[in-house]
Amino acid sequence: MKYYYLITVLFVLIACKKKPEPPTVPAQYESGIVVLNEGLFEQNNASLTFYDGTTVYQQVFMSENGRGLGDTANDFDTYSFGGTEYIIIAVDISSQVEIIDRKTLKTVVQIPFFDGINAREPRHINVNGTRAFVCNFDGTIGVIDLISNSVIDLIDVGANPDGLAIVNDKLYVSNSGGLHYPIYDSTLSVINLSTLLVEETIETRINCTQMIVDDQDEIYLLSNGNYDDVSPALLRIDPLTNTVLETTEMEITSLAYYNNWMYFYNESEEAVYRYNTVTEAVEPTAFMDVSSYETFGGIIIDKTNERLFCIDANGYVNSSIIMAYNLSGNFLFEFKAGLVATDLIFNN
Amino acid sequence: MQLTRYISTSFCILFVLLSSAQDTSKYLQTIPVFAKQDSILRLAVISASIPHFELTAAKLDQLGAKDVGEALKYIPGVQLRDYGGIGGVKTLSFRSLGAGHTAVQLDGIQIPNLQTGVINLSSFELFGLEKISFSSGRAVDSRSSASAYIPANTIALNSILASQPHKFRLGLYSNSTSINAYEKGLFAQTRLGKRFFIGGQGMVKFGNGQYKFIHPESSADIINTRLNTALFNYRARIVGGFIGRKNKITISAFLNKNEQELPGAAVLFNPSNDQKLWNQDWRLNLIHELRIGKWNLQSHFNLQDNFTNYQDPYYLNLDGFINVVYYQENLDVGTLLSKSFRFPNERVFIGTDLVKSSLFGSNITGRPIRLQNNSVIGGSTMFGKFKLDGNVTAQFIQDTYESTTSEDREFLKFSPFVAMGFRPFSKTELRFRAFYKNTFRMPTFNDLYFNFIGNTGLEPEDANLFNLGITYGHEQKDWSAELTIDGYYNRVKNKIVAIPTKDLFNWSMQNIGETDIRGIDIGALVVFKIKQSQLTLNSNHSFNSSIDITNILSPTYGSQIPYTPYYSSTSGVSWEVKGFSFSSNVLISGYRFSLNENIYANLLPGFVDINLGISKKIHFEKSSFLVDLKLMNLLNKNYQVIRSFPMPGRYLQLRLKYSLAK
């Protein structure tokens, strides 16, 4: 048949489009960077990426455990107990806290967070000693005992808590009320870590999320505004008196702290700026121009090796790029992570 | 006044179109070869100068499909977006043009949905349908109004109720499945005297719809259950009419009430789903047809009302729940004048429709109202070995909405369509065909006015379609065969896509996409008649390359667009003997990607869906009874057409059908 030729050509053309190969696993996770990729809502594609300095390994959680991490993994933290190091991950839409071995990435336990049939949605995790504190979007703080890996308490806080910080044996929880638009929450809950009771609720500013604690034990709190006529602001809080010392309206998001400098992203300038936490002033010139980024996604600092990492989230629908800089802002290297990279852990 | 200006503009367009209509009626006196009707007609209409497929009631029985969406997935080039389950949404893309480029017509009347621009194909049952047609390039139903000539692709549904009645007709239908989904239906139609007829159809769909599945992202030994899937839906339609010597009047009314649970995405480790959806829709259609000699004037009046209520009883906002309601109203009046020449399909026509649509509801800014004037002028002629077909449509759109800042939006878009058929030998059923169409998909109300996401500055999405094809038919005493091969090239510009603006929570609709679509669709069918039995074999294959060419600097430049397999195929075999029918259908889809980036993390594996069926039809003097048992998804794999929406595994489907015609 004369169209046989045509069909053959077509088959060849299509065969040329190589189907992507399944990911491979590295020989070790002892040394390298673990990236938490949030994935997209209801796509079940939260994942971990591992970069050993030369090669990137995608979907390493899936490879090591034979299943997906879940849907929308927002945050992770590390801790060690009984001589083993662990990573603890908050998986929001799957409503699970997943504990894995830091050096093998094999799962240890999956802790579900449900109120009856309703998902509590764990968003952020802070580990303190043998306890992990999980802020759930349903307005509760889950307390996990890391010896028995069980939930020992649930503490009621404000609406849609979305940030955690620990200072002086107190847990500070920023209640964003992010889903309560247009009436955002504007409070900070202060929980005593020995009694696990809310001691105080401080009035702050609308839609507060991320918190940073500096070396003087002051809290810097990010208020996102309402994305319309209320601009974002940085709030400085004194944890001894639990009062707001200063509110500075400015273009600010994605906080990271190291050695008396707080790094943040200025969206309209498309640049990373620094704020000195001793002089309490923003450095007037930009620390780093990041206007080449498609979508700026966050700053993470590797304190051990004194490196600064920035995430290009690439429109949230394409793989994120992680770029490394030294603390003078000079580019070191970059690698590709998964979908919506959100946090890094440095294994040394 | 705005309305005056709107009407005067509409008339101007009509006038321009009229004055440009010349000479289309000239023809040569020899009998054109395209005037001869084809003897074989099974899936592809090989005499058409555009890709045109027909699924008859008998064919629909064989496919085992429950709704129009499931039936159309067997057409080459169609990708059905199937969310699974009994109440799951089904939409289709044809040759990588999305659902917004495909219109649905019921008995010549276009079904509007200005809110999302797409029609859920699972809301049209197959019971009571005589035929489904699918065409690309232009609408094929001669009852089509001007608006029907605008979209790229058309699904035309022909119901029994609107067709020429017998003295009396009755149908009973029942469908039961082992995944707890049931359907019952009834229709009756009778003549009232010589000139009048009336008929009605009622249909109920219900069941809890639960099925077991293995989540593709979880380990294979964990069996989950798809929960929150119950549905209760009933629909009724009445069609009455008058058939005179010159006049024909048809009046129809439709009511749909639907109450369903929404299973949502199958989220790993989180089975909680409690959303609910209510719909209440009604339609009223009035069609008048006046036929004097070779002149035909048809006019219509359509009114449609849709009410939607969505509830999420547990949501972490201030209220603790979500409750949204939408009211949509469409009013459509129009007329189309045509004159036929030597043959019914050789004609010229001109028509215009005035459409008013409004939407009001939660999260919709400023109660948008759209006034639309759709006009068409066109014709088809045959001479010698050629057939020519063409039309031009004009869409004039004016959107108004309550706002303090923005002005009203207006669009005027012309879309040409030309097609040519060539049959070199009058004794051989070999034909060549080609068409070109340029069409615009108007931004929907959601694209424009949905809170925060909507962008009132959007331009229409622009699509150019080219098709070149060869069709061949051959018939012998005891066997016949047909073959169609079409190559196509589509280019979509100003594609309307959602992109994030500030962060993951702030998205906006933008005209930024551009896609280059090339492919080949091949269909073949062979029928053998052996003594008292008939064996039918058919196979369709689609090759498609749909490349994102939006931005050369983007990592996805040159990538295959989401949910578009490079290769897909459908095949079927059936053997009919002594009222028994044994059939099997196989659908194969190659791998696809769930997002723009062609990487392993976005890879959705290919799948094979096979069904097996056995049926027996018992004929009585004036009635018949059909028992049909089908084993669906033989391979029992919970494949995903859409990521996070696993399909049911193997299940049984039993259908009983009784029909009486006097």
Q: Residue A249 forms beta bridges with which residues?
A: A233
| C-alpha distance from B477 to closest chain A C-alpha (Å) | 24
Residue numbers in A near B645 (CB within 8 A) = none
B residues 564..593 contacting A (CB < 8 A): 566-567, 591
Cβ pair A117:B272 closer than 8 A: yes
Whole-structure pTM value: 0.90
* pLDDT of the residue at B501: 65
Task: For residue B502, give the nearest of A40, A68, A227 by CB distance.
Answer: A227
Whether chain B has a CB inside 8 Å of the CB on A142: the answer is no
What's the gap between Cα B298 and its chain centre?
23
Task: For residue B270, give the nearest of A23, A95, A227 by CB distance.
Answer: A95
* pLDDT of the residue at B450: 86
* pLDDT of the residue at B406: 62
Proportion of chain B above pLDDT 90, given as a percent:
69
| C-alpha distance from A100 to closest chain B C-alpha (Å) | 16
| ipTM rounded to 2 decimals | 0.91
Other beta carbons within 10 Å of A304:
8
Residue numbers in A near B266 (CB within 8 A) = 44
Q: What is the mean pLDDT of residues A244-257?
A: 96
Residue reference for tokens 């909405």: B401
Residue to mutate among A4, A35, A67, A69, with most B CBs inside 10 A, is A67
Cβ pair A68:B522 closer than 8 A: no
Token couple for B414: 């012309």
Q: How far apart are CA A238 and CA B46, in angstroms?
A: 80
Q: Is A18 helix (H, G, I), strand (E, B) or coil?
A: coil
User: How far apart, in Å, are the Cα atoms of A59 and each of A23, A37, A38, A103?
Assistant: 7, 9, 12, 16
Whether chain A has a CB inside 8 Å of the CB on B318: the answer is yes
Cβ pair B267:A94 closer than 8 A: yes
Q: Which domain holds residue B203?
A: 2-661
Angle, vertex CA A28, rays to CA A22 and CA A33, nearest 5 = 85
Cβ pair A14:B545 closer than 8 A: yes
* pLDDT of the residue at B404: 67
A residues 310..329 contacting B (CB < 8 A): 313-319
In chain A, which residue's Cα lies nearest the Cα of B319?
A180
Residue numbers in B near A66 (CB within 8 A) = 219
What does the DSSP assignment read for A292-321?
A: T-SSEEEEEEETTTTEEEEEE-GGGTSEEE
Task: For residue A71, give the nearest of B268, B595, B603 by CB distance.
Answer: B268
Task: For residue B267, give the nearest of A44, A112, A227 by CB distance.
Answer: A44
Task: For residue A316, give the nearest of B317, B504, B520 by CB distance.
Answer: B504
Cβ pair B595:A71 closer than 8 A: no
Q: How far apart are CA A29 and CA B406, in angstroms?
A: 56
* pLDDT of the residue at B438: 96
- pLDDT category at B6 given cuts 50, 70, 90 is low
Task: Please count the residue pairs, one from chain A and one from chain B, whose beta carbons lie less than 8 angstroms apart.
Answer: 135
Torsion of CA B96, B100, B102, B103, to 10 degrees: 180
Residue B195 pLDDT > 80: yes
Whether chain B has a CB inside 8 Å of the CB on A59: the answer is yes
Closest CA to B443 of B372, B365, B495, B402: B495
Whether chain A has a CB inside 8 Å of the CB on B643: the answer is yes
Mark residue B282 as left, alpha or beta (left: phi above 0; alpha: psi -120 to 50; beta: remaining).
beta
Residue numbers in A near B560 (CB within 8 A) = 17
| C-alpha distance from B274 to closest chain A C-alpha (Å) | 9
Residue B237 pLDDT > 70: yes
Residue B199 vs residue B475, higher pLDDT: B199
Residue numbers in B near A13 (CB within 8 A) = 545
Task: Check if the beta carbon of residue B232 is closer than 8 Å to that of residue B260.
Answer: yes
Cβ pair B272:A6 closer than 8 A: no
Q: Is B259 exposed, middle or buried (0-12, 13-18, 19+ CB in 10 A)?
A: middle
Residue B11 pLDDT > 60: no
Give the strand pairing for A281-282 and B90-94: unpaired
Q: How far apart are CA A256 and CA A302, in angstroms?
A: 10
What CATH number has the domain bearing residue B148? Answer: 2.40.170.20
Cβ pair B566:A110 closer than 8 A: no
**Choice among B110-119, B559-568, B577-586 with the minimum mean pLDDT:** B110-119
Q: How far apart are CA B335 and CA B497, in angstroms?
A: 35
Residue B15 pLDDT > 50: no
In chain B, which residue's Cα lies nearest the Cα of A341?
B504
Proportion of chain B above pLDDT 70, given as a percent:
92
pLDDT in tens, A267-288: 999 999 999 999 999 999 999 9
A residues 102..131 contacting B (CB < 8 A): 110, 112, 114, 117-119, 121
Q: What is the mean pLDDT of residues B500-505?
A: 64
pLDDT in tens, A149-183: 999 999 999 999 999 999 999 999 999 999 988 89
In chain A, which residue's Cα lies nearest the Cα of B268?
A70
Residue numbers in A near B598 (CB within 8 A) = 20
Cβ pair B499:A315 closer than 8 A: yes
Task: Check if the beta carbon of residue B309 is closer than 8 Å to that of residue B259.
Answer: no
Q: Is B402 exposed, middle or buried (0-12, 13-18, 19+ CB in 10 A)?
A: exposed
Whether chain B has a CB inside 8 Å of the CB on A16: the answer is no
Residue B403 pLDDT > 80: no
* pLDDT of the residue at B310: 93
Alpha carbons within 13 angstroms on the beta-carbon side of residue A299 total: 30
pLDDT in tens, B436-454: 999 999 999 988 888 878 8
Task: Check if the beta carbon of residue B382 is closer than 8 Å to that of residue B354.
Answer: no
- pLDDT category at A321 given cuts 50, 70, 90 is very high
Task: For residue B218, give the nearest of A23, A67, A139 by CB distance.
Answer: A67
A residues 211..230 contacting B (CB < 8 A): 227
| C-alpha distance from B482 to closest chain A C-alpha (Å) | 15
Q: Residue B593 forms beta bridges with which residues?
A: B603
- Number of structural domains, chain B? 1
**Choice among A68-82, A144-158, A296-310, B159-173 with the minimum mean pLDDT:** B159-173
Residue numbers in A near B217 (CB within 8 A) = 44, 62, 67-68
Residue numbers in A near B545 (CB within 8 A) = 13-14, 17
